[in-house]
Each structure stands twice: as C-alpha cells, then as structure tokens.
Chain A
Amino acid sequence: MGKKSKRTEKLNLPLTIEPAESSDRLEVRRTAKLYIGGAFPRSESGRSREVQLAKGGVANIAGGSRKDLREAVRVARIAAEPWAARTAMVRGQILYRVAELMEGRAAQFRDDLINHGASKSDAAAEVSAAIDRMVWYAGWPDKLSAVLGGTNPVASSHFVFTLPEPTGVIASIAPEASPLLGLVSRLGGILAGGNVAIVLASESAPLPAVTLAETLAVSDVPAGVVNIITARRAELLPHLVRHADIDGYDLWGCPDELLVEAEQGAAEHVARVARRPHGVKDRADAFDGERGERIDGITAFLEMKTVWHPIGS
C-alpha cells in the first residue's frame, strides 16, 4: 500500500474527487488466510498471529492448526487422481498460466518481500526469478517420461518400458529464507511431476505464500491441488510427518533441529523424503540461477513403473 496510482492521473478525473494517495484514505487491508481446497478459510482454531512489516504496521497471519492440516490432506487426496490424470501438456500449460498470473501480481509480490525486509532491488530480482522458475517447470511435464523413462532392452522376448508416475500427496516444508523463489522452486517440482501439495509456508516471511495462494485461486490449478498453510512449523511438523495419507515430504525448509523427528515420522509410513542437499544452507540465495533449476525437486516424488509384455503370437 502507499504506492502512487498512475491510473487515477491518466483518467483525468474531476478535481472534486480526492486522489487515491490522499493520506486520509483508509487502506483496505488484506486478511491473510489459509488456502485449502481452493477456498480461503481462517484457521479452525481461530488463531492468528502478528507479523511486523518493514514499512510499519502489522499483518495478521492465520495460525494453521492440526485440524487445518488434516482438512488439507483430505482435499489434496481427492484432488490427486484427477490432477495426475490430466495430460502432461495440459499440466504444463496450467503451470505456465500460473507464471502469467504471477507476472500480473509482481507488484504485490515485491511489496510482500519488501515488507519482510528485502531491499527493492532484491525483491524485484526474486519476483522475476520466481516467475521464470515457474516457466521453467511449465516445460517439464511433457518431457519427464522421455528423460527419465524409456524402453528396456531385456534379454528375453518381451517389450518392456519404464515410465515415471506421480507419487501422490506431497507435503512441502517450504524454504524459510527464500520465501517466494524458494517456495516456487520446490512447489513447481511437486506440481510438474503431477503430484498435489500441502505447503507449510515460510514462518518468518509468509506473505509471498499468501499472495501465491491468491494467485493460484484464480489460475487454472484445480482446487485442492495446492494447499498453503501458514503456521508455527515446530507445532505442526510432528503431526504432518506422521499423517499416513501423505505420500512424500519435501523437507527442504525443515529446520535442522527438527530433521530427525521429521524423517522418523516419514519413515513410519514409508513416505518418500527429499531434503536439502548436503552442505546447502537454507539461505536467501539458495535458489538463484541454475542452482535452483534442479530436476531433483521433481524426481524425488516420482515412481518409476515398469511394464512387461511378451512379444509373440
């Protein structure tokens, strides 16, 4: 808020109407809610917390609970099969459409980052990179089977091929220090592989995730395919990792001190786990450039299916 509206000036409005930037106009604040099943509920717990904004003032951020999480898993499970069944080309186009809409909301994403303490230039660079990252992922769905799968020249009279398929419902502990680019870099991989996601947003900088939710809600991403929860991570994580209807965990943003518990919980139901590569820190620049363009984020949540059939009459 507080930006000059150039549009008002261009419209040549009568002088009797106050310009929008007038200091006595009250800002219409946004309520930052959860994003579950395509809707924007408050937390069932009724909790919210204040996040101090760099430009002054506070934002109230929904404090997601264990029940919110369970609801997100429920709707994600319903969304999983139809999303995986879309053709690869359509999934790619839907991701590209997300990039288009992010471009339209670039100003708000920048504001969010600035409100979380980023400089103007850093914010602008992160938003541009995040949009480009989504475009990068948009190109992947219809290439994965060619790059990762293939036909297998077995030593018997059979035709045998191997194809990647999505794992299912994936929970992502989004990167903490790269609240937009990191979020998009991890989420993009999950979606490009045909999975659905439940995202625990950056705790210290949740606003870009809230704006992304609002972007996704008007995109062509079906309801339930992405669910974004703002919460205290240490509170939700033990329940998240033990939810037996979650098939995989992206623990990229999991704090080191919670990693053992998180992986143990995932192990109990043989869930797939992706984590930060050895030696990589949860830093703001961890997803810059080619460092962020990694297929690992996709392949962690793919299952390779091998199909055999005899050749003969």
Chain B
Amino acid sequence: MPSDQTPKGAAPRRTPARAASVATPAPAAIVAPASSGLAGNSPWAYAPAPESREIVTIRQRYGLFIDGKERAPSGGEVTITYNPATEEPLAEIAKGTPADADRAIEAADRAYRKVWSKLHPRERAKYLYRISRILQERSREFAVTETMDSGKPIRESRDVDVPLAAAHFWYYAGWADKLQYAVPGRRPEAHGVVGQVIPWNFPLLMLAWKIAPALAAGNTVVLKPASTTPLTALLFADVCRQAELPDGVVNIVTGPGSTGMSIVTDPRVAKVAFTGSTSVGVTIAKGIAGQGKGLTLELGGKAANIVFEDAALDQAVEGVVNGIFFNQGEVCCAGSRLLVQESIAEEFLARLRDRMSMLRIGDPMDKNTDIGAINSKAQMESIGELVASGVAEGAQIWQPACDLPTRGWFFRPTLFTNVAQSHRIAREEIFGPVLATITFRTVAEAIEKANNTAYGLSAGIWTEKGSRILQVASALKAGVVWANTFNRFDPTAPFGGYKESGYGREGGMQGLHAYLRSS
C-alpha cells in the first residue's frame, strides 16, 4: 500500500511526456497510445524485477477440504482457475455440489458439538496463534500464490494481504479466552456452525476476516471461496492440517454460487457471513429470511474521496491514487468518486494525471508493478461496459499513455471528469481502476454529494483543518472514514458499511459480536 505520508520516492513529479486527453474514444474506451513515459528508452524505465514462483507448487487438481481431509467432489466435476495475468490455467478445482455442502456442514456440526465447544477457550486461542504463526512462516508462498491466482501485484499481496491475514488470526486468538470482556454483563455463546461466502478481490484476507473471529468465538466454519480465486483458501486448508486443528472445525467447499446458497440456507448453519456484491447479499438475506440465523453482510461501495482546497495536494494525490488503483480498484471500499473543490480542481487534476502517468501496469509478479491484472474476463467486460457508458453519457475520459501486456486481462487506469451525479459511473460500483471526478464549492455541498449514493462503506477526507475533518467525518454516512489517508486496514479497527453497503462489522471487538450470541 502506498504511503499516505509522502509521495513515493520512486515516482518523479513530472512525466517526460504528458499523455494526451482523449476526445472521442472508441466504445471500449481503451486508447492505445504510441509510447509510454515508463517504457523502452525512457530514463524512468525500470528493469523487470520479477518475484520468483519457485517457492510455490501448484498441483494439477485440488479437492474439497471436509472434516480434515481432501475429498473429491460428489459430482466428479471440476472448474479451472486461471492466472489473470497470463490467461493460463493454474489448476483444476473441485466443483462442490449441495451434497458436498451437506457433508461439510455435517462435519462442522459434529466438530462443534463433540470437540470445539468442549475445548477450553485457552486451547482455542492457541490453535489460532498457531495458524497465525504458520501464515507468517509461509507468507511468501501465500503471497506468490495469491498474486498468481488473483492478478494483484506481488507488492500488495506480500505487504498487505498476507501480513494482515496473519495479523487477524493473531488478534482474534487473544479474544478466544476473553469473550466475557467483549460482551460485558452478558454470557456470550457461540452460534455453532457458521456459513461464510467470500469474494475474489482479497481471497486470503477475506478468509482471515471470516474464519479468525468465528473460531475465536467458538464456532466451526464452512467457507466457500470465490470461484476464480480458490487457491489460497486451499493452501489454508494445509495450514489447518499443519496446525493440527481438529477435523471439521474448518471446512472449505469450492464451487459455484448455488453451492454457497445451499451452505447458507441449511438449517444447521446458525450464522451467515457474506462479502460480495449487494445483489448477491440481498439474495442471501432473502434466502434465509425467517430462519432465525444471524447475518452480516459486507457489500458494495461507491466511496467519495473528498479533497478540500486546503489539502496537502501531493499527499492527497497519493491518497486518491491509492484509493482507486489499489488492487486495480477491485476493492469494495475503493475511493471511486473523487470530489474535488472547484477552486483547486484544475491544479489537482493536472497533478493527478501526472501521477497516473507514472503508474506501472503489468506483470503482477514484478515487484515494481503498481497495477496488476483484472481478476477475470467477466470483470474486464463489466468494467469496459461501465466505462463505455461514462463516455456515452457525456463524461470526459482520460487515460495515461502506458504499455499494456499483450496477454492477460489488463485495464488502463481511467480518469473521468465532467461527471454528473446521475451518470452510471458516479452511481454504480465499477470494481475497476476507474475514477469519476465531481467538483463542489462548499463543505455542505461536498457532504451532500458524498452521501448521495445508495452505498455507505467508506469515504476519504483531505484537508489540513482538524475541525473540518471531524465535522465532515460525522456527517458522512459511511462505516469507515479515512482522513488524510485511505485504504487502511487493521484487525483492531472495525470495518463495514452503512445503508446498502451492508451491516455488521469485521475487525475489532465489534467484529467479534457477530459471531456471538449473548444470553
């Protein structure tokens, strides 16, 4: 994650060649410039610095992880997970069926009743500490696997995803034998079996956000990873084996969305946690209506990143770039709407274009890469469709001149100006490296525009005035507000949305509450 304190040293302030703005792009909105400021003979070009993949052995085929053992899917079918940076198949993944989900839930239920709920909480804590330690030990292996399977830059999987995942297990381990302090005055109890469905943008980190608090609270787990990014979850199954976690405490069932639905709707599953799109979240909530299950949803977002005229501009540029281009913008809390005060808009956008011209797009395994590959072909098409709508609706598009790899799914970082609040690119979650710029004049207008969305996951504020930060932060309808920083995560800090971004929190003491019921 880029620093919010200072502009990155590697990035010079001025580009050698300013990219031309695009007046009438093709509907696909991809403009192929003749040359890049970073490529070829440019003095700023970097030599390749690829991370070695030697540390990783990806098997040809992976089964399901049920009751401590690897099992073939009952239907015998497999799907293929691809490397988005090369479009090459990585492995065959078991296509779990409802029958497999049933078997996994049975194992989790048995493990809960016979083993996990009878274990002293102190022992539960020690298992979680073990898992955290093993994740740290095998962090490079996880980072490389994650980058190969998801397309995210190795710099991010190495410095953000994997360390944070280990930190989550570490943090919640300590809660396992201190639950009575999390719910003062009440007797906290586990739910039993929890069903969890996670997305493809932070495969291992989302697994950690789900499994760590669930186990600490004394539940057992059936988790379905995303279809396109199952590898680190399956590698995590190996961590469970290494930690000698009792069989059935963690079960991992790969498969399509329908398999996820059969997990969450099963009557033996007492609590459901989902991270993903709002539409799927709604389907899940409707599917379990009236069943009395606990439910937490972490859904989409359309965060405003608000830059006031007194902001430290270079820091704000860094923060805006980090806010939207971190993980290719495939982040639910991405700062996808830039709200910039009219008085500084021209200057700010000029600096932003300069900075965007210095972004390195390409091989995710290269340690210098800023923007890696888009996770899937379907996601590429979805981003392209929304970008085309932005052009069609009259917003002005700008993309830096940079070389894109000829293979793999890469999307050029995109800046829209002259965006109206009614444009689809200002309302819908794009989940890609696309920033929509809207201007404002007053603080009240900034708040009004920032809150003018069905979502409410996160927001950013850039100003040097402390009292304004507190005023705007309290007026924003968003679960996470980053002031003079963006896209920061920590196991001790609760994360989650307002409004249609979902409910419940992950992280911190508050994140534990969802996995407990108190009598």
Contacts and interface: CB of A to CB of B under 8 A. Distances in A.
A263 B488 contact: no
Contacts of B510: 148, 162, 304
A267 B285 contact: yes
Given A306-B481, A309-B483, A260 B290 contact: yes
A309 B490 contact: no
Given A268-B282, A270-B281, A270-B500, A278 B292 contact: yes
A128 to B, nearest CB: 23
Contacts of A147: 184
B478 A267 contact: no
Interface stretch (B71-79, B131-139, B399-407, B501-509): B501-509
Interface string A273-306: 0010110000000000000000010010001111
B193 to A, nearest CB: 15
Nearest to B184: A147
Contacts of A299: 513
Contacts of A150: 509
A267 B485 contact: no
Interface stretch (A56-64, A111-119, A153-161, A196-204): A153-161
B26 interface: no
Given A267-B289, A270-B281, A304-B505, A310 B484 contact: yes
Given A152-B492, A275-B292, A308 B282 contact: no
B496 A156 contact: no
Contacts of B502: 270
B480 A270 contact: no
Contacts of B282: 267-268, 270
A260 B500 contact: no
A263 B286 CA distance: 7
A272 B503 contact: yes
A152 B494 CA distance: 8
Contacts of A157: 5
Given A152-B508, A158-B488, A304-B505, A270 B479 contact: no
- Measured as residues with beta carbon below 8 angstroms from the partner, the interface class of chain B is 35 or more
A304 B494 contact: yes
Nearest to A268: B282
Nearest to B510: A304
Contacts of B494: 152, 162, 304, 306
A308 B488 CA distance: 8
A264 interface: yes
A305 B478 contact: yes
A269 interface: yes
Contacts of B517: 277-278
B508 A156 contact: no
Given A156-B490, A162-B510, A267 B278 contact: no
A307 interface: yes
A27 to B, nearest CB: 45
A312 interface: yes
B297 interface: yes
A101 interface: no
Given A260-B290, A270-B299, A307 B278 contact: no
- Measured as residues with beta carbon below 8 angstroms from the partner, the interface class of chain A is 35 or more
Interface in A125-152: 147-148, 150, 152
Nearest to A257: B290
Contacts of A308: 480-483, 485, 488, 493
Given A268-B282, A308-B483, A160 B496 contact: no
A89 B290 CA distance: 37
Given A269-B500, A270-B502, A309-B483, A155 B285 contact: no
A51 interface: no
A155 B490 contact: yes
Contacts of A272: 503
A154 B500 contact: no
Nearest to B502: A270
Contact of A270 (B5, B278, B469): B278
Contacts of A275: 292
A309 B469 contact: yes
B146 interface: no
Contacts of A158: 485, 488
Given A148-B510, A305-B479, A310-B5, A264 B289 contact: yes
B289 A306 contact: no
B167 interface: yes
Given A155-B490, A270-B278, A306 B479 contact: yes
* Max chain B Cβ within 10 angstroms of own Cβ: one of A264, A306, A307: A306
A307 B518 CA distance: 28
Contacts of A148: 510
B427 to A, nearest CB: 15
Contacts of A267: 282, 285-286, 289
A162 B499 contact: no
Contacts of B488: 154, 156, 158, 308
A303 B292 contact: no
Interface string B457-477: 000000000000100011000
A160 B292 contact: no
A104 to B, nearest CB: 32
Nearest to B499: A270
12 contacts: A156-B488, A267-B285, A267-B286, A269-B500, A270-B281, A270-B499, A303-B479, A306-B508, A308-B482, A308-B485, A310-B484, A312-B5
Given A162-B493, A270-B500, A307-B482, 9 more contacts: A155-B167, A259-B289, A270-B281, A270-B285, A304-B496, A304-B505, A305-B481, A306-B495, A306-B508
Interface of A: 147-148, 150, 152-158, 160, 162, 165, 247, 259-264, 266-270, 272, 275, 277-278, 296, 299, 303-310, 312
Interface of B: 4-5, 167, 184, 278, 281-282, 285-286, 289-290, 292, 297, 299, 469, 473-474, 478-485, 488, 490, 492-496, 498-503, 505, 508-510, 513, 517-518
